[in-house]
Amino acid sequence: MMEEALKKYIEAGRIAKIVRDEGAKLIEAGRRLIDVCEHVERRTRELGAAPAFPCNISVNEVAAHYSPLVGDESTIPENAVVKLDVGVHVDGYIADTAVTVALDDRWNPLLEAVQEALSKALDAVKPGVRFAEIGRVIENTIRSRGFKPIVNLGGHSLARYTIHAGESIPNAYDPMTRGRFSAGKAYAIEPFGTNGSGLVYEGDIVAIYALVCTGLRRRLDNVSKKVLAAIRDRFKTLPFSERWLADVEPDIEKLRRSLRKLSRMGFLVRYPILIEKAKGIVAQFEHTIVITDDGEVIVTTS
């Protein structure tokens, strides 16, 4: 890995830690979700980086991908378990990190199980280790404390301007899982644990999109052309929120119709919210690691 790229990963991780911790301190009953996320995103920019994806703030049985929409008045409930998932990039080099805050101490054993799983997984990572073995470590740790890993969620490799770069690190052991950790790459390790079924499904709400294809030759209306041009220019292939395009098309219903149309036409991919199948409570913790060319494993968001 080039020295300059490594420096940018580490700087992204430094900023990600700051904004993650600041955001976590804002989590309290009655606070608007949008206020927490907009603080995280604003501070990321103030510190000289940019969000790698919209701040995710997922409550209780919602495991991931909830990010407030324009005008969202949702607030944090009493006694909630809140996941805060933050992405920061410096020149396209991404740090991805998450923390869970429980507003009721009875959920502390779940949080501790997932934190321990992440810690043990990070200790086990080195070049050549199979992804499946990290899944085994995560699953065994979470199950040993009486909870279940969410088996259809997992970590992933990272690349420049690409949040999911093609390799998956499972949260449960599967001997058929292929792939090994390699020098010169970055990975996000993110255990999810629950007192529910251990599976998630896609909900109806879509708050996050990403550009997947720029070469399609399709006839577009003027609003969609304008929105697509802004997406290409501002985000490249990184995920984004409708909140970040409200200045491009102030009529939010027109903007939403345009995003749905661009998705149907194949320009965009949608990321629906993910909900625990049995409505179990979900906890998540995540760090980004970078494996240098000499095999050193650096945790950028610790």
The DSSP element (H or E) to which 13 belongs, if any, is helix 3-25
Structure-block tokens of residue 108: 């502390």
85 is in an annotated binding site: yes
- Compute CA distances 79 → 26, 141, 213, whole Å: 15, 25, 42
Residue carrying structure tokens 């968001």: 301
Contacts of 95 (CB under 8 A, 6+ apart): 9, 12, 13, 15, 16, 52, 87, 88, 89, 288, 300, 301
Distance CA 115, CA 218 (A): 47
89 is in an annotated binding site: no
Active-site amino acid positions: 85, 96, 156, 164, 190, 286
Structure-block tokens of residue 287: 């760090």
Closest CA to 288 of 139, 121, 132: 121
Distance CA 115, CA 121 (A): 10
164 is in an annotated binding site: yes
190 is in an annotated binding site: yes
DSSP string, 133-200: HHHHHHHHHHHHTT-EE-TT-EEEEEBTTBSS-S-EEESS--TT---B--TTEEEEE--EEESS-S-E
Please enumerate, by residue number, every residue annotated as part of a binding site for a divalent metal cation: 85, 96, 156, 190, 286
Residues making up the binding site for substrate: 65, 164
| Residues in the annotated binding site | 65, 85, 96, 156, 164, 190, 286
